[in-house]
Every structure is written in C-alpha cells, then in structure tokens.
Chain A
Amino acid sequence: EIVMTQSPATLSVSPGERATLSCRASQSISSDLAWYQQKPGQAPRLLMFGASTRAAGTPARFIGGGSGTEFTLTISSLQSEDFAVYSCQQYKNWPLTFGGGTKVEIK
C-alpha cells in the first residue's frame, strides 16, 4: 500500500498571502495524484488531478506541481473561501490511498 504523507498538518496564512502544501508518496506514483478541498460541514470536492490539471470550476490561483514522490499544491493568493482542509490522493496503485490532510486556517 502506498502511504501518502501531507505536511504541515496545519498552515496559518493571512488572506492574500501564498500557501504551499506538500504531499509525499512512499513510492513513485508518476503524476497520478489528485487534490481535494473540504470546507467545514461540506463534502470533499475534487480540486485537481494529474498533479497539475485543475478540475472544472477550480480557480487559476490553485497550482499543482511535482511528480514521482514529491508534490505541492500552491494557492497563490488566499481568498476567504480557500480556508479549508486539503487532501491528496494517489491513483497509481491499488488500494487507492489518501493523505491525512492539511488544514489551511486564517492567521
């Protein structure tokens, strides 16, 4: 099973600032990585796949990068609606696995 590790667990950022989240895979997953956003009291939403391809409706300020075992999600200028928990998921190997999540909170 591929273990996905996200860091940091919590990221405190001021509105308008940039946030960079990390996701590491225990073995290479090429670019078979997705990101999900989950706001309080809401269901997760697919944000990005293929490590860097935005899903429908994802704003351009969300930028995904990386390949192999190291990945990042950058939010270039945080808006109030971006404060949420972000989870990564690999779909290279079975079973499909998720990271533990990074909570982006208001500083």
Chain B
Amino acid sequence: VQLLESGGGLIQPGGSLRLSCVASGFSLTTYPMSWVRQAPGKGLERVAGISDDGGTTFYADSVQGRFIISRDIFKSTLYLEMNSLRDEDTARYYCAKNRPIHSGLLFDSWGQGTLVTVAS
C-alpha cells in the first residue's frame, strides 16, 4: 500500500487549492478513505472522509461547506478541494486509508502528507 499526496503550497486567505492522493496496492472501492490534518504544534484532526462505495462523505464542522472530498477510481486518486481557505487551515494534510472496526475506523496506512500554508 502506498499513498502519495500532492497539491499543497502557499495560498492567500480566501483562496482555493486541490489536494490529490494517488493510491497504489489496493482499490479505492475496497476501503473508506480520509483526509487528516495536523496544524503546527497541534494534534491530528480528521477533516473529511469518503466511504468505500463513494456514497457517503464526512466533513468536520471546521471545514463543512468549504471542503469537498471526492475520488476518481479509474485514476486511483483521492481529492480534497479546499475553498475559502483561512489562516487556521494551515497544516500538513495526510491522506489515510481506513480499516473498518466495530462501529468506527482505524487509519492503517498514511501518506507522507502535503503542506498547506494559508498566509497573506
């Protein structure tokens, strides 16, 4: 299993970015996937998720209405479209493969992350 993120960078407040995560070694139709971020000096926060069938998505309150998670199963790529970016969105964004367990999910494989810096 490999996950490779790209698309991060420096962006002004109010701007937009699209992150990509290319998955290999498994199919995106087999496992749920998540985007998890880590702001400088802070803990991990799951900001978005998508089910294995693509029919269900999740967004943290902090990004609801601004971020959109999607995927292209033919390109084996997960996306995170980020709009109306704020200073507090500055973080390293990780793509993670989930493993269902009981009523929840584990994060059993992670990419190296891509850094998003929101600043003027």
Q: Distance in Å from the Cβ of B93 to the closest Cβ of chain A?
A: 11
- Within 8 Å of chain A (Cβ to Cβ): is B10? no
Interface string of A38-50 (1 = CB under 8 A from B): 0000111110011
> Quick check: A98 and B58 within 8 Å, CB to CB?
no
Number of interface residues, chain B, beta carbon within 8 A:
20
- Interface size bracket, A side: 20 to 34
Q: Which of B37-45, B69-77, B83-91 contacts A (4 or more CB under 8 A)?
A: B37-45
What is the CA–CA distance of A35 and B42 in the complex, to the nearest angstrom? Answer: 16
Neighbour of A44 across the interface among B42, B44, B58, B60, CB < 8 A: B44
Neighbour of A96 across the interface among B42, B105, B108, B111, CB < 8 A: B105
Question: Using a CB–CB distance below 8 Å, which chain B residues touch chain A?
Answer: 42-46, 58, 60, 94, 101-108, 110-113
Known: A34-B107, A93-B103. 8 other contacts (CB 8 A): A32-B102, A43-B110, A87-B44, A94-B58, A94-B104, A96-B104, A96-B105, A100-B43
